[in-house]
Amino acid sequence: MNRAFEWISLSLSLLALVFSAAGASYAGLAFACAITALIFGVIEILIEPRRALLLLTYLPSFAVAAAVYTFDGHGAGLIAFAAAVVGLQGRLAIFRVARRLRDQALLFAKELKNSLPEKVFVFIDMDIEGEVPSSTLHEGHLIRVRPQDTLPADGQVTFGSSFVDESPLNGEKEPRTKGMGSYVYAGTVNKNGSLLYRAAGAPATSQAMRLSRAMEKSFPFESIFSPALIFGELLIGAAALLFFLADWGSLSTLLNILLASGGAGMAAAIATRDRATILRTAAEGAAWRDKEAIGRAGLASTVVSTAAGVITEGRYRLTEVVGTEFTGEDGALRLLAPLARRLENEIAFTILRELTSRNIPLEPVEAFSVTPGGATGLVTGEEVRWIDVETARLEGVPMAKLDAFARERGAAGESVVLLLRENRAAAALSFSDRVQDSSSAGLGLLRRLGLNYILVSGEAEATLRPLREELGLSHVQSDAGPREIENLLGQLEKESLHPLWVAAPGAPSLSHRGATFAAVGSHQAEAAEAALLRPDLINVARLLRIAKIHRAQTKNAVRFNAVAQIILIGLGLVWDPRLAVLAGLLPGYFLVVQARALREMRL
């Protein structure tokens, strides 16, 4: 039915243009067609506001404004009044969209809050502490999650595997497999297995609560539709009608144009789209810090990140274990796993997963301590050390034949860890981090948006070469620690290249004051412009695309509306009143931009 109204309104609008062009003798028919098109537009807006907004604020406005060329100054006032009605009807559509957005946002926020459990089981060093209120959780707590439990806080799995339903946060229908090293989030539901995970912070700092606060904070309805502004518009409309009846056509025309394109309607449209952007991205698990953050992200022209978790999976795989005459593969894993259990980094979790798959028992560790490049401790009474190959070379550790293996694996882009026994290399393990399937698509989208991408890493140039060649990266900075990365971001800022730093899990914490997208659970998430469940390149690019659409359309629409209105109203007052009536088209143009932005966000 609504399609029929759309085509009828379209046909009548075009017919009004034809009659307008035919001359003054057809002016009455042109006006009748335009008003009838407006009536059908009003009917359609009651059926489906989203589609009616595009029709109602553009086609009838155009038809009515075109018909004014067959009228005198008094007729211009009448047509301007009709244009004002069109503008008000457009704001009615924005009003209905905003109200629906508010209802969705508040329901979303309420469901997220109510989903978090009140009590949880907490462990300290594997000794049960018991059931405690979830409000007492803090960073470092070890939490046990049973099947069908809702997770109380964000964190990283340290033991077990299960399917976890993340749909409450990102709408994904299929549960995700979670194992040692995987990140899990408050508000998601554990489906089948049991998990132990280390809390990244209190429930109040979780992504679920961050999204909830964003929904509540960003949707104060009165700030979108101020009663004072609406009352002011009503006064202007009443004055315009009185002036029209008193035969003061020019003044009535001016007031009606102000009414048709008043600041209240423009403010309402911008505010509604701001909130539409926040809600649209929240449905995919991304939380903007505030509506101003969208504009700051829209300025970005260069994306800077490390590899892990952004262009690679951030989940290592054990590719090969090379032992010596007195240490085999299983023996190396048995000695390194106790250290890995205490380190709890990505490579450590990979070793623990491999240990479990081979059914090797986990030995206890004594005198554990973190050392440069790894850790050391007593395992079965023997002192062993975990060390990365770069640190081993700096310390002059004898590696014998393992050195050739380490160089070969490093040239292939893999990370190498050594097991030291009696301060000699006893085994070497290589790990690879696979490039995500979506990375190429993410780089392509960044290029289409006109953005540059710079990869920074603490790895050597030779290690990064395979990644550079596979993805065709033109800007790669190797051997980059936190200081070097901050210097790079500062230099880009000085050159007005507006860098966006993507803080993935494990990325260094920086004092960078520019735009930042951060992974949930990282220390930069609270201060970042947006916190993402998964900051991989395709999600970063999609979020930037929305931010740039938001910024560009607001800027262009406001500029066009303001400049063209000033010109047309000025010409109309000093030359021909009919030109002033054309300003009634501009609110339609502006609201069409808003409608397309909302449709782009699938709202």
Phi, psi of 402, rounded to the nearest 5 degrees = -70, -20
pLDDT in tens, 95-115: 666 667 677 777 777 887 888
pLDDT of residue 430: 93
Could you give the 3-state DSSP secondary structure of residue 129?
A: strand
pLDDT at 568: 56
How far is residue 154's CA from residue 166's CA, in Å, rounded to a whole number?
Answer: 12
CA distance 102 to 95: 11
Other beta carbons less than 10 A from residue 247's beta carbon: 10
Block residue for tokens 């299960």: 162
How is the chain split into domains, by residue range? 71-108+216-279+546-600, 118-205, 287-312+435-532, 317-432
Dist CA 496 CA 263 (whole Å): 33
**104 vs 567, higher pLDDT:** 104
For residues 307 and 302, what is the distance between their CA atoms, to the nearest angstrom? 16
Most confident of the ranges 7-21, 31-45, 216-230, 438-452 = 438-452
How is the beta sheet containing 142-145 ordered, strand by strand?
Answer: 127-133, 119-124, 142-145, 195-199, 155-160, 183-184
> Percentage of the chain with pLDDT > 90?
12
Element (H, E) at 310: none
Q: Which of 35-44, 216-225, 242-251, 543-552 has the highest mean pLDDT?
A: 543-552
User: What pLDDT, on the 0 to 100 scale, is given for residue 53?
Assistant: 47
If one compares 216 and 313, the residue with the highest pLDDT of the two is: 313
167 — pLDDT class (breaks 50, 70, 90)? confident
- Using pLDDT thresholds of 50, 70 and 90, give the confidence band for residue 549: confident
For the chain, give the mean pLDDT.
75
Give residue-wise pLDDT tens across range 271-284. 666 666 676 677 66
Nearest to 197 by CA among 243, 165, 160: 160
Rounded distance, CA 430 to CA 423, Å?
20
416 strand-pairing partners: 430
230 vs 63, residue with greater confidence: 230
- Distance of alpha carbon 144 from alpha carbon 150, whole angstroms: 11
Q: Tell me: the pLDDT tens digits for 394-424? A: 888 888 889 899 988 888 888 899 999 988 8
- 602 pLDDT band, cuts 50/70/90, is very low
Query: What average pLDDT does range 65-73 have in this prediction?
Result: 50
**Which CATH code is given to the segment(s) 317-432?**
3.40.1110.10
Alpha helix (H) residue ranges in 432-522: 439-448, 461-471, 482-494
So what's the pLDDT on residue 81?
Answer: 56
Distance (Å, whole) CA 308 – CA 429: 19
Q: Is pLDDT larger for residue 349 or for residue 11?
A: 349
Query: What is the spatial distance between Cα 60 and Cα 508, in angstroms, rounded to a whole number?
Result: 56
Determine which of 235-244, 253-262, 270-279, 535-544 has the lowest per-residue pLDDT on average. 253-262
pLDDT value, residue 13: 64
Predicted confidence at residue 62, as pLDDT, reads 52
Q: Which of 6-15, 287-296, 567-576 has the lowest mean pLDDT?
A: 567-576
Say if residue 136's pLDDT is above 60: yes
Predicted local confidence at residue 603, as pLDDT: 40
pLDDT at 379 over 60: yes
For residue 146, the Cα-to-chain-centroid distance in whole angstroms is 31
Write the CATH number of the domain with boundaries 287-312+435-532. 3.40.50.1000
Instruction: Decide yes or no: CATH 2.70.150.10 for domain 118-205.
Output: yes
The model's confidence at residue 455, banded by pLDDT at 50, 70 and 90, is very high
DSSP symbols for 136-151: G--TT-EEEE-TTPBP
Residues constituting the chain: 603
> Is the full-model pTM beyond 0.95?
no
Q: How far, rounded to the nearest angstrom, does the alpha carbon of residue 272 sit from its chain's CA centroid? A: 18
Count other Cβ atoms within 10 Å, centred on residue 458: 15
* 404 and 379 Cβ atoms separated by less than 8 Å: no
Cα three-residue angle 533-102-214, rounded to 5 degrees: 35
